[in-house]
Amino acid sequence: MGHSVGIQYAVVVVMLGIGVFTFWLLRVGYSIRELSARTAHGVSGYLRTSPDPWLEGTLRAAFAEFDRELALILKERSYTAPAATDKFPQDPAAPPGR
């Protein structure tokens, strides 16, 4: 019985903590209904602010420039991968060149 009483008191302490936190939120001026709705919408992804137009335009321009430069770099390299001759690696004990 002593073990179950300890668990019950721990739950009471947690519930009192939640109550004090809720009371503090109400005293500061938060609406619990609005706060829980904003949390639910934020977690589900429906509550997103639109990005700043200047920031979005700047990022798009930067990525476009990066894309052009990367395309030029990759075009200049013209690297071709070597053909795979063996499916299995060479035996480490084999002499070099075989």
Q: How many CA atoms lie within 13 A of 89 on its CB side?
A: 3
Q: Is residue 14 part of a domain?
A: yes
| Coil/strand/helix, residue 39 | helix
Residues 35 and 57 in one domain: no
* C-alpha distance across the termini of the chain, in Å: 77
pLDDT in tens, the chain (98 residues): 445 556 677 788 889 999 999 888 888 888 878 888 888 887 877 666 677 889 889 999 999 999 999 988 888 776 666 665 655 566 666 666 55
Q: List the domain range (segments joined by +) for residue 72.
A: 49-78
Residues 59 and 26 in one domain: no
